[in-house]
């Protein structure tokens, strides 16, 4: 991810993406005696290869027309005022494939088909890793390729992002409603969060980019805490991956139940947690750029998605447990998980510092 | 043709990456040669490597340079993203280890693979 974040040439960006993905495929397959994990690894590998192919196709198109791999050279070419209509057409063609590659890595609809299966099949520790840290690298890839490289074509990729964002938010929110497996539910929730991130980038203004970065960081913090809580419920031979496994958690372990409550409320976008402000900043930018209907649609689906987050809370606090719950986490996990939960609240109480930091990056 | 220039002083800008790469190599060898009793320390070494790399990346915030004939860029966005990647990874590895212990999946390759994906 570090090479990818600093890539300034199509070559280094692609190299970083491929080698990172290879390590991730192997990481999923470390649980080699679980059929589901191997299936997930293969599925991720095959679909990842297709996405890399599409991305490479787009890159070859861009390289063909600009004659360079350097992002600065591409940017110079794309911003020159003497572009012929054919050159614009080919750049646009390449651009579409770049957007597809980035959308696949982020897991935006309609390139999301790998997300639920891979999240469910992977060992929970790998799911947590996959759903969090590589998202930063994917955002960096987006920034390098589309904002640094093809910033002059913002109006073209913004339209694509708008479609991806609305579809992601809608599919992510609606399909998650019927999930009983919490890893699968979080996978669909990731898809809907990615929709919000793309909305931020769609606006095309620095504040919009900044709020999208803030959203990604906030999402990762929440996702880490959610998976951390799931892992804390795991014990010998017992995989806590159903929503029903959280039944009666509040009686057995009120502190962990409270952390999960904070995470779920934050993901649903309830103030004063970080998830509320990240959504608020994105919607502010979307509205100030004049996309009021988009903002209304996003809010409606955010309200729909609150149902399945609240369902987890209801399961923890109001359902009686039919089996014994033992939370036998070691002290380091307890401390880090508690800090993680507290951070979600604290950053939510003073979001402006982080928001200013995110905007200053562009 | 691309013109490749290389200046040793440019290496300072990829110090975090260089350190992480060395650390991965060291942990791999450590895992190979130490006795069974000490293998559990691979996890601690991985965490230490992540924290030190994060510190190095943090130190580079504010610097900006385009090196290696324009294939590698160091700017505020990159350095800040790196610090967040490394910080979140530390948290993720703490949670991961517990899961791996409980499900008897704990192998040191897990941490090596995670570190490698973080590096690339």
pLDDT at B118 over 80: yes
> What per-residue confidence (pLDDT) applies to A214?
96
Give the predicted TM-score (pTM) of the model. 0.94
Does residue B93 have a cis peptide bond before it, meaning omega lies within 30 degrees of 0? no
Closest CA to B93 of B61, B49, B36, B37: B49
pLDDT at A330 over 90: no
* Mean confidence (pLDDT) of chain A: 92
Half-sphere exposure of A93 (CA within 13 A, CB side): 13
**Segment B18-66, tens digit of pLDDT:** 999 999 999 999 999 998 888 889 999 999 999 999 999 999 998 888 9
pLDDT band at A118 (very low <50, low <70, confident <90, very high): very high
CB contact under 8 A, A8 and B100: no
Q: A220: which chain B residues are within 8 Å (Cβ-Cβ)?
A: 84, 88
**Segment A152-177, tens digit of pLDDT:** 999 999 999 999 999 999 999 999 99
Sequence-ordered list of residues with C-beta below 8 angstroms from that of B10, at least 6 positions apart, any chain: B65, B67, B68
**Segment A216-251, tens digit of pLDDT:** 999 999 999 999 999 988 887 788 888 888 888 888
**Segment A80-114, tens digit of pLDDT:** 888 888 999 999 999 999 999 999 999 998 999 99
Measured in angstroms, the CA of B38 and the nearest CA of chain A are apart by 20
Percent of chain B predicted with pLDDT > 90? 66
> What per-residue confidence (pLDDT) applies to A146?
94
Cα dihedral value A95, A197, A217, A190, nearest 10: -100
pLDDT at B3 over 80: no
B10 touches chain A (CB under 8 A): no
The CB-based long-range contact list for A346-349 (8 Å cut-off, 24+ gap) reads A347/A218, A347/A221, A347/A274, A348/A266, A348/A271, A348/A272, A348/A273, A348/A274, A348/A275, A348/A276, A348/A277, A349/A272
Closest Cβ–Cβ partner in A12, A133, A361 for B76: A361
- A-facing residues of B in 53-92 (CB < 8 A) are 57, 66, 70-74, 76-78, 80-82, 84-85, 88-89, 91-92
B32 touches chain A (CB under 8 A): no
CA distance B57 to B80: 8
Closest CA to A165 of A227, A215, A95: A215
Q: B48: which chain A residues are within 8 Å (Cβ-Cβ)?
A: none
B16 touches chain A (CB under 8 A): yes
pLDDT band at B1 (very low <50, low <70, confident <90, very high): very low
Closest Cβ–Cβ partner in A124, A140, A237 for B99: A124
Closest CA to A151 of A233, A78, A206: A78
pLDDT at B6 over 80: no
> What per-residue confidence (pLDDT) applies to A246?
87
ipTM for the predicted complex: 0.94
**Segment A6-34, tens digit of pLDDT:** 999 999 999 999 999 999 999 999 988 89
> What per-residue confidence (pLDDT) applies to B29?
93
Closest Cβ–Cβ partner in B20, B77, B84 for A143: B77
CB contact under 8 A, B92 and A132: yes
CB contact under 8 A, A2 and B113: no
The chain A residue lying nearest B108, using CA atoms, is: A30
> What per-residue confidence (pLDDT) applies to B4?
65
The chain A residue lying nearest B61, using CA atoms, is: A361
Closest Cβ–Cβ partner in A6, A27, A134 for B74: A6
């Amino acid at each position: 991810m570090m090479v990818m974040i600093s890539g300034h040439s199509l070559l280094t960006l692609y190299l970083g993406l491929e080698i990172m993905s290879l390590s991730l495929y192997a990481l999923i397959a470390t649980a080699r005696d679980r059929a589901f994990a191997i299936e997930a690894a293969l599925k991720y590998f095959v679909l990842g290869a297709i996405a890399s192919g599409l991305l490479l196709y787009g890159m070859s198109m861009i390289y063909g027309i600009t004659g360079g791999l350097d992002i600065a050279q591409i940017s110079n070419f794309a911003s020159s005022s003497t572009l012929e209509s054919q050159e614009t057409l080919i750049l646009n063609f390449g651009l579409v494939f770049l957007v597809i590659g980035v959308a696949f890595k982020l897991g935006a609809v309609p390139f999301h088909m790998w997300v639920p299966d891979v999240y469910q099949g992977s060992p929970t520790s790998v799911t947590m890793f996959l759903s969090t840290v590589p998202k930063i690298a994917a955002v960096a890839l987006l920034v390098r390729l589309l904002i640094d490289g093809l910033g002059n074509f913002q109006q073209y990729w913004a339209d694509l992002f708008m479609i991806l964002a609305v579809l992601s938010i809608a599919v992510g929110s609606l399909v998650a409603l019927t999930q009983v497996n919490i890893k699968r539910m979080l996978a669909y929730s990731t898809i809907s969060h990615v929709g919000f991130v793309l909305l931020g980038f769609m606006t095309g203004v620095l504040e919009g980019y900044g709020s999208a970065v803030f959203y990604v960081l906030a999402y990762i913090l929440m996702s880490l805490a959610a998976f951390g809580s799931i892992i804390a419920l795991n014990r010998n031979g017992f995989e806590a991956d159903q929503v029903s496994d959280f039944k009666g958690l509040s009686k057995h372990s009120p502190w962990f139940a409270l952390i999960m409550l904070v995470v779920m409320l934050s993901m649903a976008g309830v103030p004063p947690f970080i998830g509320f402000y990240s959504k608020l900043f994105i919607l502010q930018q979307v509205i100030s750029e004049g996309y009021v209907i988009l903002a209304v649609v996003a809010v409606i689906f955010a309200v729909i998605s609150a149902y399945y987050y609240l369902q987890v809370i209801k399961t923890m606090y109001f359902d009686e447990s039919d089996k014994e719950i033992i939370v036998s986490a070691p002290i380091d996990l307890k401390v880090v998980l508690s800090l993680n939960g507290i951070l979600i609240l604290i950053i939510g109480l003073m979001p402006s510092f982080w928001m200013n930091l995110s905007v200053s990056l562009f | 043709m691309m013109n490749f220039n290389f200046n040793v002083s440019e290496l300072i800008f990829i110090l975090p990456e260089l350190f992480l790469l060395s650390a991965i190599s060291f942990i791999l060898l450590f895992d190979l040669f130490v006795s069974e009793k000490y293998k559990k320390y691979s996890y601690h070494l991985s965490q230490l490597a992540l924290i030190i790399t994060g510190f190095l990346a943090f130190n580079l915030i504010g610097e900006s340079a385009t090196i290696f004939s324009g294939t590698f860029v160091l700017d505020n966005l990159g350095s800040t993203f790196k610090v967040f990647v490394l910080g979140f990874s530390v948290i993720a590895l703490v949670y991961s280890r517990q899961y791996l212990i409980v499900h008897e999946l704990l192998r040191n390759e897990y941490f090596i693979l995670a570190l490698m994906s973080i590096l690339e």
